[in-house]
Copies of this chain bind each other. A is one copy, B any other.
């Protein structure tokens, strides 16, 4: 008989993760606010749930892939929240990008309820999730991490352990998102400078992306920025701004002045002010740079 796992959150990232869990042999008790999203899953491998509580009922693990701090908190504490039904000793695997402070609050709630909280945000776009190429950043109690390992291995290409502190993996995740955004701003400035000097920006991006900066981030985003190709909206400016705001909030909370996050924050804030909320975050940053430079 298949292991039952709760699952909440069928967004761009959640859906391929759920599919991989099913493929790995888990039976999912799925709840999603928009129930039509459940059609994307193999119906024989899921139980449709009408509330978070129903999804958490009787499982050893429940995975949530939600959009922000508020959504995760509510999924726990609402009237039909998962704390109502999650069995003692069960593990909540939280994949969302949230503040470390929020993770600590959730950890306390779980401890009080006799269940466990595992911080496991991931790096990777939806395509990477589909190909089981996510990177999982993990933090939480040792034995809980061990117990969750097989499940996490079935959705990722690697798991990196950042210790026992509830918020630690969130710190790494938000730090990484900052580095991705800073890379985008850096490339947008660099390639626009080259263009202004009549040097082919795609050639410059090619060169750096295959030599000194031959990493996934610089290859993927470098191409989009060099070609000013913003046709595919993988991640909206609005969500990008949300992350920049969280990083800025961490900078405030920890008293770490970060001039780069200040610049990125204002860049994305201006994108929202101009009504670009639903454009790709690459466009928000890259077009911000070219507009300021009077370049098409």
Chain A interface residues (CB < 8 Å from chain B): 100, 123, 135, 137, 158, 160, 162-163, 165, 167-168, 171-172, 175-176, 178-180, 182-183, 185-187, 189-194, 196-200, 203-204, 207-208, 211-218, 245, 247, 250-252, 254-263, 265-267, 269-270, 272-275, 289, 292-295
Contacts and interface: CB of A to CB of B under 8 A. Distances in A.
B215 A162 contact: no
A171 B197 contact: yes
Contact of A172 (B192, B199, B258): B199
Contacts of A194: 171-172, 175
Contact of A199 (B162, B215, B262): B162
Given A162-B199, A197-B250, A215-B213, A262 B260 contact: no
A196 B158 CA distance: 26
Copy tally for this chain in the complex stands at 4
B265 A193 contact: no
A293 B262 CA distance: 15
Given A162-B204, A182-B186, 18 more contacts: A162-B199, A167-B197, A171-B194, A175-B191, A176-B208, A179-B190, A182-B182, A183-B186, A183-B213, A193-B250, A193-B254, A196-B254, A196-B256, A211-B216, A213-B215, A251-B269, A257-B292, A257-B293
A214 B209 CA distance: 11
A159 B179 CA distance: 29
Given A179-B187, A213-B179, A263 B274 contact: no
Contacts of A199: 162-163, 165, 168, 171-172
